[in-house]
Structure 1
């Protein structure tokens, strides 16, 4: 069954979905942007599980393009799927690691049994990925994914991001 792709402009920490995707940094210990918002609103349980992951599986941090799940703490979601997007290096940057973030997040969602997943615009903030290209990669990857996820909801922080993603949905 094809995944239904929806768009909403708003706050990803307020989404009532099975899983929220966190645009994390490799440390998994919180940061700015989406990552900081999820850790602040979700509370200490998320950080505690992230510390455990660092101590047991990801001593050197979560690699770019990979994904791992934790509790969602006080968020309305059941789980947080943490993924590390690539930093844009300028013209000619390889979009494959960015696509991997979406694909791997859906793989983790399938393993959890999540049917609704909220995604941010991964790598478009501090990691400087051009919004239009990031939207294209995100939508194409989710559309092509072999997944049991029924709804992939892109939660866009502002009108500019919403417009870029809406142009890809067509």
Structure 2
């Protein structure tokens, strides 16, 4: 899987699917989720909430409304909205998002910093946790993964984590 790191707006990418670092209730009121709902439409949130609750370590896929991608993969990093999250939950959410993308045959996927906004995990710690999971994920379908965030510091954290993370598979 080719990994690209970019600064920018995940909602503008024309990839097959984007990841929403969600909560278990499917509510899209803050952070990246709120931007996805604002630009893609309320239908995305309605679909996610209809499938709730989604446990940490699980993920669901919905349509993408008016976004240029085809799907949104909702991977909870917290149980309730605005809750502080942990590195373990970030790892579980990252793994769950990749698994759903793989299960649905998604070839191009974009993922923001998981748990770094509303979840309040330090960027460099979240980046290391995400990269550890990504590097060790046995992807059969995802060929391109774009790690994208509006924060320059997140982009730098991913690049540093990629340089320091050996591939185990």
Check whether TM > 0.5: yes
CA distance in 1, matches of 2:49, 2:31: 20
What is the root-mean-square deviation of aligned Cα atoms in Å? 1.5
Provide the residue aligned with 2:115 in structure 1: 123
Using CA pairs under 8 Å that are at least 6 residues apart, name the structure with larger relative contact order, 1 or 2: 1
How many Å apart are 1:23 and its aligned residue? 1.1
Unpaired segments ≥5 residues, structure 1? none
8 Å contact kept, 1:114–1:149: yes
How many Å apart are 1:52 and its aligned residue? 2.6
Q: What number of residue pairs does the alignment pair up?
A: 158
Residue 42 of structure 1 is aligned with which of 5, 17, 40? 40
Unpaired segments ≥5 residues, structure 2? 164-169
Moved segments of 4+, more than 4 Å: 86-89
Provide the residue aligned with 2:8 in structure 1: 10
Deviations 1:64-115 (A, max 9, x none): 23211000111111100001114556xxx5x332111111111111121111
Provide the residue aligned with 1:81 in structure 2: 73
CA distance in 2, matches of 1:51, 1:25: 10
Give TM-score scaled by structure 1 length: 0.87
SS at match of 1:38: helix
Provide the residue aligned with 1:71 in structure 2: 63
